[in-house]
Amino acid sequence: MAQRLTAQDLPAARRWRRRWVWVVVAVGAVVVAGVALVWALSGRRDSMEVAQTSTPVWKLWLSATMMVLVVTMAVAYLVLVRRGGLIAANRESPLWTVSWRERRRLVEVVRRSEAPSGPEGQLVRAAAEQLRRGRLMVVLPVALALTVIGQALMYKIAVAWLIAGLMLVLLALVVVVMLRDARAAERFLAAHPWKR
């Protein structure tokens, strides 16, 4: 486990968290506003009637089943994250005090399984532990892929399936990278045990 943040690291960590909260809130507000705008401009009565009359019942049931599966996966993921202590580990991570450029460099050190030198050893180990825990996060792109498939089932147009296909390829790439990084982190942690 990575060492806890020191008192001098706390202001930097709080700034990073505060910045991330604002980014998440801003992105969420933009997404909600965009969805509301598209919904308002699309003439929702007409689109609802077309969806109800042109989509076979089996597709509606399959899509609804996929959405229930996605919600179940999300709840299970949240329970696993909470019980596994991943939230606390992230909250106490020393990586909150370093820049994104520095984080990328630390991840490259882990991927190459280089021996950490000097005081950066704790940061490299924290990056490796975070990448290893990323294996659990594979649930998220899989759930998103199911959502994309469920949405594509609702439409007969080829563009919806083209977009769904592109999204599925991108999500598959994300899963491959996450699993590759998790394996690299496990190799790093096995090759360089923590010495206090």
DSSP H or E segment with residue 190: helix 158-191
Given a cut of 80, is residue 65 above it in pLDDT?
yes
Of 48-62, 125-139, 149-163, the one with minimum mean pLDDT is: 48-62
**pLDDT given for residue 28 in this prediction:** 76
Q: What is the spatial distance between Cα 131 and Cα 179, in angstroms, rounded to a whole number?
A: 9
Q: Kindly report each contact of residues 135-138 with a partner whose C-beta sits within 8 Å and lies 24 or more positions away, as own/partner.
A: 135/178, 135/179, 135/182, 136/77, 136/80, 136/81, 136/84, 136/86, 137/178, 138/175, 138/178, 138/179
**pLDDT given for residue 169 in this prediction:** 92
Closest CA to 125 of 50, 56, 195, 20: 195
Tokens describing residue 175: 């899963």
Residues contacting residue 172 through CB under 8 Å, at least 6 positions apart: 145
For the segment 149-167, the average pLDDT, to the nearest whole number, is 82
CA 8 → CA 4, 89, 114, 170, distances in Å?
Answer: 12, 19, 28, 40
14-18, 23-27, 86-90, 137-141: which has the highest mean pLDDT?
137-141
